[in-house]
A and B are shown apart, each in its own frame.
Chain A
Amino acid sequence: MTDLIERHDIESSDDHGDHGVSHHDHHGPSGLLKWLTSTDHKVIGINYTVTSVLMLILGGALAEIIRAQLVSPTSTLVSFAQYNQLFTMHGSIMIYLFAGPFAFAGLANYMVPLQIGAPDMAFPRLNALSYWLYLGGTISMVLGFFATGGPAAFGWVGYAPLTSAVNAPGVGPDLWIGALMLTGFSAIFSGVNLVATIFYLRAPGMTLFRMPIFTWNMLVTGLLILLAFPVLTAALVMLYCDRHFGTHIFEVQGGGVPILWQHMFWFWGHPEVYILALPFFGMVSEVIPVFSKKPMFGYKGMVFATMTIAALSLGVWAHHMFTTGAVLLPFFSIMSLLIAVPTGIKIFNWIGTMWKGQVEYTSSMLFAIGFVITFLIGGITGIYLASPPLDFFTHDTYFVVAHFHSVVMALVIGAMAGIYFWGPKITGYKLHEGWGKAQFWFLFIGTQVFTFPGYWLGLKGMARRMAVYPNNPSWQTLNDWSTIGAIMIGISTLFFIINLLVSWRKPIPAGDNPWDANALEWFTTSPPPHHNFLSLPPVRSERPTWDYYHPEHPALGHGDHVSGHAEQKVSN
């Protein structure tokens, strides 16, 4: 049996048809035209990643203004109207334009075909369309700042009827709706592409249970996108009709039901939490085994935990609506509490992977550990919110704000783990470790300094989305600490930008497999050639690259995953 399967044996979809074995002399446009016209998943992945990281920086800048406003109880840095616009755009940019697109369309676009040994995504042109819709949505959202009357100011959740034509007149809210529709369709197409690619374009030997955890998570994310996003898009169409075509779907006048918006929004919104989180769970599940020099502990349990989270996430939307008095509390309470179980399994599996390993403190690994700790804090505080009596007095307060910022800041930290881990594969060069570690400590400590005062403020009674708090001047100290944390996070972003510049000026060549890693993306060159692989190793576990370079160290303790070189049937 040969060690390498030749590339042309596994060639599947090739939408150009004009190139043969030599992929290095691929003839296509170069320069700007390449970025504008490419259907290569790697180019689209980079487009997505760069656009979404720019949105992260913009959203972060808005957050710094919000925190600056809150340093005193009666601050006048921004007006009430501007404050409402700021937090609306901050939330919208972070959720719709950064977190999701970065994870399920940026790094996933780049890495999923590589991890499964495919030459591209299943539908390359749909993939390009996906990016252009996303870019259109991004531009629509940002254009809100230039609209008469300013951008949307009803919060990123846009509860009806605050979004009606009467309560939120002007073109800003319409641009917001348009942006969500465009990015919504973009996400749906990305979901279709991910699911089709993972089901149909896997390399020979890569059974479902030999897929890397990141790819598994992207498959489940893709399915969740297909179940959740159409509901949001439908709700947006209904909202647009209310605003412009005289329907009364979300308005009491005329027989509408405002609370219907909350149901539809959160039917998308809670799965969306896991659509955002699962890709980052996947990223750290790639990073932690590599820098512990061990296989993913409890691999199959991890996969089932992911599926359980996804299944439960479709039945918990109304825990965002406990205080409406219009939902069945015990059902949504137990479903929400149960999500803690598979999430806990994941955390224990990450600990088990490090256990008795050789944990190497690269920047990427530090970010991954920081992710686990920060996510643990967000997860534990989330358990309170799943209990209706406790949610009653924390709902819409800074306790909730702190809770979900622990979660989403964990995702940002996880995103950095992914960037430092996969950056060398994408560019061919490593990022500077010293700046990376400085960035990590500022980001990690800044996150905790930023969120912890929020938990206390919420319990004292500070509601969300308050531009001033003149009735409670004693809240100032905690708010100031929170702002200090936000400044530290801002400084960490500066370190990241400096690191990019330093690493660009003094490149550190990475080589094909700088981390002695596991999955197939590390078997090809950095960056990979057009259509990705010149040859593939046999796939006999979820760590084909590791098995190839360390045939004497296969994963232990499971019959199906004994060895990369034992006799195996090749599934085709």
Chain B
Amino acid sequence: MTSRRAALLAVIAPLVLAGCQLPSFGAYHGITKGGTQSYELWQGFSVIAAVVGGGTFLLILWAALRYRRRGDTIPRQTQYNVPLEVIYTIVPILIVIGLFAATVVVENQVLSEPTPKATVNITAFQWGWKFVYPGENVVVIGQTTQNPTMVVPEGVNVKMNLVSSDVVHGFYVPALNFSRFAQPGLNNTFTFNFDKTGTFKGQCTQLCGLYHSLMYFQLQVVTPTQYRTWLKANALTPAQAAAAAAASANQINAGIPVKPAQTSYGVN
């Protein structure tokens, strides 16, 4: 077991170490341990993609330009070169095994669910989000133009339970390097430990009907003290909280105008 773990580390260590000096290749740096490791994995994949893809691209160009037609002689009719073919079968297999090993290590970090200190129950609906803080009597609901904000504490394990009350939605915060489907009848859980405070944009990624484009929310990471203060300031009575938490999408939509204010966006 230890030797296997050592082998995995040997594969991923160069990727992670190299990650410190590498460009971002377009990805977010992540605001959790898993998100940061995903970012480093992204960098590692990008280096290999650049080397393999770039090399292959140059080979294609070279073959097409260097061997352009220069006369009518018929070239040597070579059809096989078995050692060469074996090499370009074996080498990609080895690369793939390396990529897979690194993938598994990062995946285990991203999906690890240590004991949580805080919990948020997320319900996605057409077309908005409901964030329920169980035991705290806090419920945040918002849709389309009234984007809700999910407030979470920094530096502790925050567990999220994600479900949809109607069609499939996608819970996605780009800065987190994470997304997950919100599905009807299927509860999904994941745990974050945020290492950065700030407000981050989130949105629905999975087509969910007419106002899919406007299904935004914000993720606000605050210090644990600020989090406690925020919870106290927004606490409802237990009865109110229970009613809000149980409200169906239809009831929510009955309370808030379904059609977003930005009708100039072409809503018909």
Q: What residues of chain A have their CB less than 8 Å away from a CB belonging to chain B?
A: 74-84, 154-155, 159-162, 167, 252, 257-259, 292-301, 323-326, 329-330, 333-334, 337-338, 340-341, 344-345, 347-348, 350-352, 354-361, 369, 372-373, 376-377, 380-381, 383-384, 387-390, 392-393, 395-397, 455-456, 459-461, 463-472, 550, 553-558, 561
B71 to chain A, nearest CB (A): 7
Contact B266 A75 (CB under 8 A): yes
Contacting pair A84 B210 (CB below 8 A)? yes
B192 is an interface residue with CB less than 8 A from chain A: no
Closest Cβ of chain A: how far from B198's Cβ, in Å? Answer: 15
Our pick among B28, B69, B100 for the contact of A333 (Cβ within 8 Å) is: B100
**Other-chain residue from A384, A456, A554 in contact with B42 (beta carbon distance below 8 A):** A384
User: What CA separation (Å) do A82 and B266 show in the bound complex?
Assistant: 9
A393: nearest residue on chain B (CB-CB)? B177
Taken together as a complex, chains A and B put the C-alpha atoms of A340 and B48 apart, in Å, by 13
Q: Are A561 and B79 in contact (CB under 8 A)?
A: yes
> Which of B28, B209, B267 is the one whose CB lies under 8 Å from A167?
B209
Binds A, one of B117-125, B199-207, B224-232: B199-207
Please indicate the chain A residues that have their CB under 8 angstroms from the CB of B73 in the complex: 358
Q: Are B166 and A358 in contact (CB under 8 A)?
A: no
Query: Does B3 have its Cβ within 8 Å of any Cβ on chain A?
Result: no
B131 to chain A, nearest CB (A): 18
**Residue of A at shortest CB range from B61?**
A373
Question: Which residues on the B side are within 8 Å of A292 (C-beta)?
Answer: 67, 75
The answer on a CB contact under 8 Å between A359 and B53 is no
B68, B185, B208: the one contacting A252 at CB < 8 Å is B185
With contacts A79-B266, A357-B75, A461-B201 taken as known, whether A384 is within 8 angstroms of B49 at the C-beta atoms is yes
Please pick, from A167, A300, A557, the residue contacting B81 in the complex, using a CB distance under 8 A: A557
List residues of chain B with CB within 8 A of the CB of A83. Answer: 213, 266
Question: Residues of B contacting A345 with CB < 8 Å?
Answer: 85, 88-89, 92
Q: Would you list which residues of chain B between 101 and 160 have a CB under 8 Å from chain A?
A: 103-104, 106-107, 110-111
Cα–Cα distance between A384 and B99 once the two chains are bound (Å): 9
Q: CA–CA, A299 to B166, complex, Å?
A: 52
Q: Is B201's CB under 8 angstroms from A325's CB?
A: no
State in angstroms the CA–CA spacing of A323 and B204 once bound together.
13
Given the known interface contacts A293-B75, A561-B79, the answer about A79 and B184 at a Cβ–Cβ threshold of 8 Å is: no
- 15 additional A-B pairs beyond A76-B264, A354-B63, beta carbons within 8 Å, are A84-B212, A292-B75, A326-B186, A341-B92, A354-B64, A358-B74, A359-B63, A359-B67, A360-B69, A369-B64, A381-B49, A389-B177, A395-B179, A397-B172, A463-B172
A80, B38: Cβ atoms under 8 Å?
no
Other-chain residue from B77, B211, B266 in contact with A78 (beta carbon distance below 8 A): B266
Which residue of A has the minimal Cβ distance to B184? A252
Provide the residues of chain B in CB contact with A78, threshold 8 Å.
266
Least Cβ–Cβ distance between A253 and chain B, in angstroms: 9
**Contact assessment for A393 and B166 in the assembled complex, using a CB-CB cutoff below 8 Å:** no
Q: Determine the distance from Cα of A450 to Cα of B13 in the docked complex, in whole angstroms.
A: 36
Are A356 and B265 neighbours in the complex by a CB distance under 8 Å? no
Q: How far is the CA of A465 from the CA of B172 in the complex (A)?
A: 14
Tell me if A294 and B75 are in contact (CB < 8 A): yes
- Do A80 and B100 form a contact, CB below 8 Å, given A369-B64, A387-B45? no
**How far is B125's CA from A161's CA once the two chains are assembled, in angstroms?**
13
- Please indicate the chain B residues that have their CB under 8 angstroms from the CB of A155 in the complex: 207
Name the residue on B nearest A74 (C-beta).
B265
The distance in angstroms between the C-alpha atoms of A392 and B32, with both chains bound, is 14
Complex interface bits, B174-201 against A, C-beta within 8 A gives 1, otherwise 0: 1111111101111010100000000001
A-B contact pairs, 28 of them (CB 8 A): A80-B266, A81-B210, A83-B266, A161-B166, A259-B183, A292-B67, A325-B180, A325-B188, A330-B103, A337-B100, A341-B93, A351-B60, A358-B69, A369-B64, A372-B60, A373-B60, A376-B56, A393-B27, A393-B172, A455-B26, A460-B174, A468-B265, A550-B74, A553-B74, A556-B76, A556-B77, A557-B79, A558-B79
B79→A293 contact, CB < 8 A: no
B78 & A461 in contact (Cβ 8 Å cutoff): no
State whether B206 touches A159 (Cβ < 8 A): yes
Judge whether B8 is part of the interface by a CB distance below 8 angstroms.
no
Q: Is the CB of A258 within 8 A of B183?
A: yes
Q: Give bound CA distance, A300 to B82, whole Å.
A: 11
CA–CA, A330 and B71, complex, Å: 52
B84 to chain A, nearest CB (A): 7
**Is there contact, CB below 8 Å, between B184 and A347?**
no
Taking a contact as CB atoms under 8 Å apart, the answer to whether B207 and A84 are in contact is yes
**Does B2 have its Cβ within 8 Å of any Cβ on chain A?**
no
Report the separation of the CA atoms of residues A171 and B108 in the bound assembly, to the nearest whole angstrom. 46
Chain B hits for A300, CB < 8 A: 80
A374 CB to nearest chain B CB (Å): 11
Contact of A297 among B67, B79, B111, B265 (CB under 8 A): B79
- Find chain B residues with CB under 8 A from A297 CB: 78-81
A392 touches B179 (CB 8 A): yes
Residues of B within 8 A of A456 (CB): 26
Q: Which residues of B contact A369 (CB under 8 A)?
A: 60, 64
* CB-based contact B57/A376 at 8 Å: yes
Known: A351-B59, A359-B67, A387-B99. A324 touches B85 (CB 8 A): no
> Is the CB–CB distance between A159 and B201 below 8 Å?
no
CA distance A294 to B80 in the complex (A): 11
Look across to chain A and name the residue whose beta carbon is closest to the beta carbon of B88. A348
- Asked if A80 contacts B204 (CB within 8 A), the reply is no
Indicate whether A161 sits within 8 Å of B205 (C-beta atoms), given known contacts A383-B99, A389-B103, A456-B26: no
| Bound CA span A357–B181, Å | 51
